[in-house]
Structure 1
Amino acid sequence: MALSAFSEDGKYYSSISKDGRLKIWDTETNVLKQEYTPDLHLTSPPSCLQWLYIASSPKSSHEGVKKPTYNEKETQCIALGTTSGKILIYSVTQAKIENVISDQISEKKYITALDWHRKYGLYSSYKAGFVLEWNLKSGSVKNKYNVVVDKKTVQGNSVNAIKIVPHDLQSEDTFLITASWQLCMWRLHDGEATIFRHLGHKATSGAILSIVSLRKASFLVEGSQKERLLSFWDITVEEPHLSQVNGDGITPRKRHRKQTYTPHQLDTPNYNFVLEDAPKFFDVQVKQEEDMCMLKMVAATRSGVVHYYGHTLNGASTKPHKPTLTLQVASSNAHPRQLMCCRLVSDHLLLGYSLESALIFEKIRPDLSSKTQVLIRDDPNAPIHKERINEVNKVRADEPQPSEVTYVAPHGLVDRKRHVPGGKVEVPMEVRLENLSLDTKSRSTMAVNQNFTKLLIQGLHSKDKK
């Protein structure tokens, strides 16, 4: 179930909010470009989305004259699957709904996942355990496939994620990965679905799938929103696995039914990658560098950090691999920023993190000199909060300091000199005398000091100048 995704070129990022609104950001300008609220977004909100392109050729001014294929234009759209079984085709160019497709088969059915490929078209999965292949031009269903793994466990057969496996072989078969209670690879042909491979891995309700191809090889990365692990599988389709072909073409349907094929069992994935927390978004790239096949992967977790992995594909390994680099974003006062999404763009990482109420996208180059890095990012529009300073004790260095200052005491105004740092403090005589003991009933033997104290007080209160 994909609630957010980047466009194919990485220029836009779309997500479905909790209240059922579609939001599209421009990753180059950090601007919320479009926001759309579907009808009945509270009763039947969107459950998943998928970026796609729809070819549309302009009408000719002369009847009977067909436009060449190179004049066809592609419209960038987003397919929104809803909980009521309808698929909304939203045009990003025109910022409106272009078409609404539905069928009696999918009416009032919960759409769990969508996937689209230029060669194979649009597919949708449902909780009931079946997949529909759509014809976008007519808005109708081409084929319906039953992808129930085990009929005895009906509740566990709910498909929550699908991915189309591309191949360049000459065959009309379409291969599809489904995640229900188990990961399976299906072969779809002429309305029939047969299990092609058991991946031997139990998936959860929040599965996330991603497929990357290199030449004729295809790889699957599977993650779950309930596990701290990413699994890497080699799902390359080879020629002996396809349907047999004779001189006239593909074998007839009746003969194709009689062919028995035992699904290939893959007990363990080729690689496992450990995360700090369960993943919510990741992107994968596989490139050929000299004589090595390099894997680059970036994943954002629920805890708000991003892990970057760099690994050489040189044989299967059962040991889990740790991230090469872990990135975090925080403010200058150590307030963490939530990392929402990530994407690999050439040799850079495109990060999307929340800043107050906005979503900021930033492209950085990964620095592999340390395993953990923290990016300090503050809101440039936020007001600067200065610490409040006591104006009484505040002294400016550029102003001359007065030699005497008037202080307010409980018994009135008292004039005394300001204390200079490093200098002596002069205490008035009255304060010194008040600190002395004047108790005449004291049994102290120092009567001379007491009498002398009384004489000093009498002299101070007398009006005799001498």
Structure 2
Amino acid sequence: MALGSHHVLGFSPDAKLFAFINDQGILRIWDTDTNELKQEYTPNLQLSGPCTAFTWFIAGSVSGEPTEKKFKKARKLHAGSTKDEGAIYLALGTSNGNISLYSYALGKIERTLKGEGHSGKVTCLTQDDEGHLYSSGEDCQIIVWSVADEKQLSSWSVGTEKPYSIVYSKISKNLVVGGRQIKIFSTASQELMQTFTGHTSDINLMSFLELDESIEYVLSTSRMERIICLWKIGKKGRNKSATCTLLMEDVAHCLTSHVDNDRNLRVASVTRSGVIHVYLIAVENIKAEKPIKPKLTIEIASDSATVIAPIPAISVSLRHSAHPQELIFGYGNSSFLVFERLKPNFAEKLQVLIRADPKLLYLTQGKLSRKDGKSGGALKTLTPIVNEAKVDYKSTVTVSKKKLKAVEMPMESRLQNLNLNALPGGVAPQAQSKVQLLVQALHSKDNTLLRSVLHTHDTKTIQLTLHKLPVPYVGPLVNELTQFMQQKRMNVEYAVDWLKILVQTHSSQLMALGSEDLLNKFGPCIGIIEHRVNCLKELSKVAGRLDLLINQIKRNTDEDNLNSANVLVYEDNDSSDPELEDEGEKSSPDDEWDEDIEDTVENMEQDSEDNDESENENDDDSDADEGEEMDT
């Protein structure tokens, strides 16, 4: 099964079992007939790492005597298993690049295949009819494994593009590798045979189908596209186009296909929004003229009397031999799943199924089993059995419960306990954990409750809360802290305190995610921190200049209070003498000065007039003398 953008899942060949790997790398296996969670496997993160890919295979279909003997031995060790269950195995690929074989009969890892493996995580696994496993990894390598010999046989490179999905073609015995392009390699010569180009992002899902003994097709879809492309495998060639295209309303998380007895191609996909699309195409009408829309769309909704909420579909399968005309699908979430079989009604374009919420259904079954005196599988509790005769008391004095009497507190002590004012020399209250409130806030996404929990600078409270916080809530908490860092300065301070202690407390769980997953989690947060750090230099310059201006203004405006007002004021009452005042009234020097100025001005004017008259007389005399001289 290919590695999806959110999870890895797949049905067994007979569709009686369903396996699912969640984001933490935990493997869960359900029985599709009884809707019961059969097994849950948590890998050792230090030794093997989380599971990233898997494929089902049956022990009877694998050739090789050593493997058959080991499978029979495993069935004998598991006394309660049937013959069919003992033959079912899962090949698990881990983030460390190793391949392990998980036994459904034993419920554990039976052995690990020997070899160098991949340098990165395994992205996809598939098998052929000769007992070989093919694995693809992020190191752009394809490795061939022998299940019988439990070792690595060979490997080859597929180019610079990382492969995320591979399938094996049984007729031509080629390996179809999906990266950004679809490449077909010969398993015998490891030679590139064909190349298909048409997707704009990484291909995460592929499905192989055969119409007859000579015609083979491959269905593919990518992570960022809402289309399914159908490719015909033929002779050598490069950059071939798709035979036809199928439309979807959202990105696909599951893809399956089947050719029925009437030579009709049936394709089913589950989108990210939880809707199932079913396509019915006649083999003769497969053309590349225009995209094909789904023949039937199936949606699932809850049967609540108050609120009608959609229930997302998780997976769908068309490849099961028991009922070839039906499809089996599962809906719910990663913890509570319900499986059903349905015969599609192609007379309607939209079919809405009203079903009970799987989570409420599981809880109801648990309550009913408790009333009947039986405990459910998920609600089992063990009560320790203690023999009172063999109890070793540490104290020499033992008091029976019958002799114990209730101690009544006097009224004075009760009144003292009601005093809420702490004494000045009392002990400071200890920090308390807020993990229950934090988990409730992350579940309900209540901003008010979340702010009440995160708005604290108490280091002890933060440490106790994060130390008891379950691992599945670390990711949602990082997302909420990232949103806090995009808000006001006060929220940024709270977010930095929580984020620093979160990294210190859950460092081992965060390191187990891998470099890419860890970068995706903390990428937005790191970007915000870098953006704020880039502005720190300019802000420090502005703050320094403002401090200089403020200090200068303070020095200029601050004045000494002693110089701002007169220190001493003296008034002499004897300075006002009435005699001096009378004399001042009789003779004022100012008036005399004014009279003198007026006399002076008049004299100056009189003198100027006399001078003018004398000058005129002299001029007349000079003119008369000149006339006498001219006569002579």
- CA shift, 1:205, in A, is 2.8
Unaligned 5+ segments in structure 2 are 71-82, 365-632
The corresponding residue for 1:214 is 211
- CA shift, 1:343, in A, is 1.2
Secondary structure at the counterpart of residue 290 of structure 2: coil
Equivalent residues in 2 for 1:233-252, closer than 5 Å:
233-236=231-234
The letter of the residue matching 1:78 is L
Aligned partner of 2:268 among 288, 298, 307: 298
* Identity, % of aligned positions: 27
Alignment of 1:337 with 2:311, yes or no, is: yes
Aligned partner of 2:237 among 236, 239, 264: 264
Would the aligned equivalents of 1:298 and 1:343 in 2 still touch at CA under 8 Å? yes
Would the aligned equivalents of 1:83 and 1:108 in 2 still touch at CA under 8 Å? no
The letter of the residue matching 1:176 is L
The corresponding residue for 2:258 is 285
The corresponding residue for 1:13 is 18
Equivalent residues in 2 for 1:48-447, closer than 5 Å:
48-54=53-59, 55=62, 56-58=67-69, 75-104=87-116, 106=117, 108-119=119-130, 121-148=132-159, 154=160, 157-167=161-171, 174-189=173-188, 192-202=189-199, 204-216=201-213, 217-236=215-234, 263-265=236-238, 267-289=240-262, 293-314=263-284, 315-332=286-303, 333-344=307-318, 345-354=323-332, 357-379=335-357, 380=361
Moved more, 179-188 or 26-35: 179-188
Moved more, 90-99 or 114-123: 114-123
Distance verdict in 2 for CA 1:6–1:357, change over 3 Å: closer
Distance verdict in 2 for CA 1:357–1:17, change over 3 Å: closer
Distance verdict in 2 for CA 1:323–1:73, change over 3 Å: closer
- CA shift, 1:48, in A, is 0.7
Would the aligned equivalents of 1:58 and 1:72 in 2 still touch at CA under 8 Å? no
- CA shift, 1:57, in A, is 3.4
CA distance in 2: counterparts of 1:141 and 1:133, whole angstroms = 6
- CA shift, 1:53, in A, is 2.2
Alignment of 1:26 with 2:31, yes or no, is: yes
CA distance in 2: counterparts of 1:376 and 1:202, whole angstroms = 36
- CA shift, 1:91, in A, is 0.7
CA distance in 2: counterparts of 1:72 and 1:358, whole angstroms = 25
Q: Which structure has greater helix proportion?
A: 2
- CA shift, 1:206, in A, is 4.6
Would the aligned equivalents of 1:145 and 1:188 in 2 still touch at CA under 8 Å? no
Distance verdict in 2 for CA 1:357–1:73, change over 3 Å: closer
The letter of the residue matching 2:171 is H
- CA shift, 1:267, in A, is 2.6
CA distance in 1: counterparts of 2:46 and 2:299, whole angstroms = 34
The letter of the residue matching 1:371 is K
CA distance in 1: counterparts of 2:26 and 2:175, whole angstroms = 29
CA distance in 2: counterparts of 1:273 and 1:218, whole angstroms = 18
CA distance in 2: counterparts of 1:330 and 1:143, whole angstroms = 49
The letter of the residue matching 1:219 is Y
TM-score normalised by structure 2 residue count = 0.49
CA distance in 2: counterparts of 1:161 and 1:358, whole angstroms = 27
The letter of the residue matching 2:268 is V
The letter of the residue matching 2:30 is W
TM-score normalised by structure 1 residue count = 0.66
- CA shift, 1:199, in A, is 1.4
The corresponding residue for 1:458 is none
Distance verdict in 2 for CA 1:266–1:74, change over 3 Å: farther
Secondary structure at the counterpart of residue 337 of structure 1: coil
Distance verdict in 2 for CA 1:116–1:276, change over 3 Å: same
Alpha-carbon RMSD = 2.5
Distance verdict in 2 for CA 1:357–1:208, change over 3 Å: closer
CA distances 1:252-283 after superposition (whole Å, capped 9, x unpaired): xxxxxxxxxxx313532111100010110021
Unaligned 5+ segments in structure 1 are 60-70, 149-153, 169-173, 242-262, 384-466
Distance verdict in 2 for CA 1:96–1:73, change over 3 Å: closer
Secondary structure at the counterpart of residue 57 of structure 1: helix
Would the aligned equivalents of 1:200 and 1:266 in 2 still touch at CA under 8 Å? yes
Aligned residue pairs total 329
CA distances 1:197-255 after superposition (whole Å, capped 9, x unpaired): 1112346335201101233122100011211001111215xxxx6xxxxxxxxxxxxxx
The letter of the residue matching 1:25 is W
Distance verdict in 2 for CA 1:181–1:81, change over 3 Å: same
CA distance in 2: counterparts of 1:22 and 1:210, whole angstroms = 22
Would the aligned equivalents of 2:124 and 2:137 in 1 still touch at CA under 8 Å? yes
The corresponding residue for 1:413 is none
- CA shift, 1:183, in A, is 0.8
Distance verdict in 2 for CA 1:374–1:382, change over 3 Å: farther
The letter of the residue matching 2:287 is A
CA distance in 2: counterparts of 1:78 and 1:41, whole angstroms = 21
Distance verdict in 2 for CA 1:47–1:356, change over 3 Å: closer
- CA shift, 1:32, in A, is 0.4
CA distance in 2: counterparts of 1:229 and 1:92, whole angstroms = 35
- CA shift, 1:86, in A, is 1.0
Q: Which structure has greater strand proportion?
A: 1
CA distance in 2: counterparts of 1:220 and 1:9, whole angstroms = 21
CA distance in 1: counterparts of 2:69 and 2:204, whole angstroms = 40
- CA shift, 1:41, in A, is 7.0
The letter of the residue matching 1:323 is P
- CA shift, 1:357, in A, is 4.8
- CA shift, 1:73, in A, is 11
